[in-house]
Amino acid sequence: MEKKMREEAKKSGVHLIEKTQKVKLEPIETKGFILDLGGGGEGIIGKLNGNQVISIDNKIEELEEITNESLKIVMDACDLKFLSSSFDTVTSFFTLMYIKDQDLPKIFSEAFRVLKDEGEFLIWDLRIPKRLGDEPFFGVILRITLPDEDVNTGYGIKWEGKEQDIRYFKTLASQAGFIALNEGVDEEIFFLKLIAKKTKVI
């Protein structure tokens, strides 16, 4: 299956990271609802935490295709329709790589706004190097290990003008008011746990 995914990617002009990247996930321990940004695709966070998750995606067809138990709502992550300080946890599982650079500050500030004081924004994403050569797309094949299933999938984006790494996300996060609590880089993918510090210590 993986070989077929690689062959098809090559035919479509996708520059794939050579090695399959691996992510192992355990259910997120949190009270209340989890807001998952860009929760279509494979709907991984909804598979992980089920009906505790509110999956938002700006494409209805992405939400219609997933079969997890999350509550699915069509919504733009740049313009969240939730009241401020509504959530303990916001997640983005390989979604920010799909967002145009000019929209990223808004997404970080919206995540900050809807989180409660000390709420957490959990991000899994991909290092994207500066475009080299003429392949129009950049992508990765991921093997995601969940407690009761493994998901093999590919995520890819239009490469032109898109370049990102954990440092870039940390800068955007701090501009929005977040503090980085935890971080990890594993080969080409990274994880960031950000905390929304809303009350200033005097």
Ligand X SMILES: C[S@@+](CC[C@H](N)C(=O)[O-])C[C@H]1O[C@@H](n2cnc3c(N)ncnc32)[C@H](O)[C@@H]1O
Among residues 191 and 197, whose Cβ is nearest to ligand X? Answer: 191
Among residues 76 and 135, whose Cβ is nearest to ligand X? Answer: 76
Q: How far apart are CA 60 and CA 134, in angstroms?
A: 32
CB 56 within 8 A of CB 35: yes
CB of 100 to ligand X, least distance (A): 8
Q: How far apart are CA 152 and CA 136, in angstroms?
A: 23
The site for ligand X (CB under 6 A) is made up of 38-44, 56-59, 62, 76-78, 93-95, 98-99, 155
Among residues 134 and 148, whose Cβ is nearest to ligand X? Answer: 148
CB of 202 to ligand X, least distance (A): 36
CB of 149 to ligand X, least distance (A): 13
Among residues 10 and 59, whose Cβ is nearest to ligand X? Answer: 59
CB of 57 to ligand X, least distance (A): 4
For 20, the 3-state DSSP assignment is: coil
Which of 133-168 are b and which e, b meaning 16 or more Cβ less than 10 Å from the residue's Cβ? eebebbbbbbebeeeeeeeeebbbbebeebebebeb
Q: How far apart are CA 148 and CA 143, in angstroms?
A: 14
